[in-house]
Amino acid sequence: MTSKIIKHERQAMKQEAGEELSEAGLSVPPMGTPLTDMFARSISYLRISLTDHCNLRCQYCTPQEGRIKLANEELLRYEEILRVVRLAVSLGIKKIRLTGGEPLVRREVLSFIKELAQIPGLNDIRLTTNGVLLADHAEALRDAGISKLNISLDTLIPERFQQITGVDAFAKVWAGISKARELGFNPIKLNIVALKGINDDEFIDFARLTLMEPLQIRFIEFMPIGASALWDKSKYISSQEIMELLKPLGPLAPVEAKRMDGPARVYRLAGAAGSVGFISPISHHFCDRCNRLRLTSEGRLRSCLLSDQETDLRGSLRSGASDEEIRALIIAAILSKPKGHTISPDSAGDCHGQMSRIGG
């Protein structure tokens, strides 16, 4: 009986993915063909939320009350993630970022990364972390195959760190950054969510760090998403306004973007060892060059951070879908990638999901 139902579900699934492709006048492309969406964007980057659990409770990210964490069986299992990555890489995905939640709190994450790094054709695995557990894991991470890190840090003041994140862990994060520097991770990017009236008095100090340290400091515009208790329009500050605040440090010279660089517009202060980046999802949309696909912690494929349209891969993986069927679902998700997003300081647009599940 169960196997009949599964067979029926699989048939429906295969048909659905096939229909989406044929509606678009397409079939599963031969292996090695670049993945391209309906707006001629080449999709080569998969971001994976390994878990929705986090050891911080940042006010702008985590709902402060009533947060429901996923049960273990709801999380995509490591072997399921590895299968999706193998298939995605066979289709043309070249770069993976592990995020969350906090990826380093998931059990056995290092063994998982080692297996991930063995996937033929995948040479670029990156990690986004809040840094709390980084000092302990940095060496093992490097040995497992990660060389590029993004570390989130919104303040250089320990008491303020505790106010924003709910945890007294600034020293641990700072130790993690120092350890990563010592071990030669390159690049190390520090992500700062720009919060007017909360950390804007520190932007100069953050940018000044780049004079001596080869870090990329990246200011991210605060977005009205993720069930944030903190969001209100008055706390939003645009990249342009941040640049104005940095003027006392001298001119910012544009740095040429590299091929696999993200959405940041990057600049350098005269003589600086590092650089300053601006990620401006609100004031300066970068949808026309978005190359990303996301896998949420519960196994949904999401073609745009800021659109709730998702494809349930977990159901298909657990009901015996073939590799060909999973590939068809990946392609269908890419073909449904929206042209652009609709968030603004006045609206969360079509994004109501929890950031930690989607993977920021």
Residues 16-55 that bind ligand SAM (CB under 6 A): 54
Could you give the CA distance from residue 52 to residue 103 in angstroms, rounded to a whole number? 8
Residues 135-154 as x/- pattern, contact with ligand SAM by CB under 6 A: -----------------x--
Q: Is 125 helix (H, G, I), strand (E, B) or coil?
A: strand
Residues in binding contact with ligand SAM, number by CB under 6 A: 21
Exactly one of 21, 70, 141, 193 binds ligand SAM (CB under 6 A); which one? 193
Question: Which residue lies nearer to ligand SAM by CB, 280 or 311?
Answer: 280
Those residues with Cβ within 8 angstroms of residue 264's Cβ, 6 or more apart along the chain or in another chain: 216, 218, 277, 278, 279
CB of 210 to ligand SAM, least distance (A): 18
Give CA angle at 198 (196, 203), nearest 5°: 75
98: contact with ligand SAM by CB under 6 A = no
Question: Which residue lies nearer to ligand SAM by CB, 130 or 216?
Answer: 130
CA-CA-CA-CA torsion for 139, 143, 149, 153, nearest 10 degrees?
-20
CA-CA-CA-CA torsion for 260, 152, 53, 97, nearest 10 degrees?
10
Phi, psi (5° rounding) for residue 359?
95, 105
223: contact with ligand SAM by CB under 6 A = yes
345: contact with ligand SAM by CB under 6 A = no
Q: Which of 45, 39, 28 is nearest to 92 (CA)?
A: 45
Interface region with ligand SAM, contact rule CB under 6 A, candidates 117-125, 133-141, 257-265, 352-360: 352-360
Question: Which residue lies nearer to ligand SAM by CB, 28 or 282?
Answer: 282
89: contact with ligand SAM by CB under 6 A = no
Interface region with ligand SAM, contact rule CB under 6 A, candidates 115-123, 127-135, 232-240, 266-274: 127-135
Question: Which residue lies nearer to ligand SAM by CB, 144 or 355?
Answer: 355
What secondary structure letter does DSSP report for 5? H
CB of 273 to ligand SAM, least distance (A): 22
Residues 151-190 as x/- pattern, contact with ligand SAM by CB under 6 A: -x--------------------------------------
Interface region with ligand SAM, contact rule CB under 6 A, candidates 155-163, 222-230, 255-263, 316-324: 222-230
297: contact with ligand SAM by CB under 6 A = no
Residue 296: count of CB within 10 angstroms of its CB: 25
61: contact with ligand SAM by CB under 6 A = yes
Could you give the CA distance from residue 305 to residue 309 in angstroms, rounded to a whole number? 9
Residues 227-286 that bind ligand SAM (CB under 6 A): 228
Exactly one of 52, 102, 298, 325 binds ligand SAM (CB under 6 A); which one? 102
Interface region with ligand SAM, contact rule CB under 6 A, candidates 1-9, 31-39, 141-149, 215-223: 215-223
355: contact with ligand SAM by CB under 6 A = yes
Residue 50: count of CB within 10 angstroms of its CB: 25
> Among positive and negative, which fits the CA dihedral 14, 17, 20, 24?
negative
Could you give the CA distance from residue 161 to residue 166 in angstroms, rounded to a whole number? 8
Q: Is 56 helix (H, G, I), strand (E, B) or coil?
A: coil
191: contact with ligand SAM by CB under 6 A = yes
Could you give the CA distance from residue 63 to residue 137 in angstroms, rounded to a whole number? 27
Exactly one of 59, 129, 239, 280 binds ligand SAM (CB under 6 A); which one? 129
3-state SS of 240-304 is HHHHHHHHHHCCEEECCCCCCCCCCEEEEECCCCCEEEEECCCCCCCHHHCCEEEECCCCEEECC
Question: Which residue lies nearer to ligand SAM by CB, 9 or 124?
Answer: 124
Binding site for ligand SAM (CB under 6 A): 54, 60-61, 99-100, 102, 128-130, 152, 191, 193, 220, 222-223, 225-226, 228, 355-356, 360
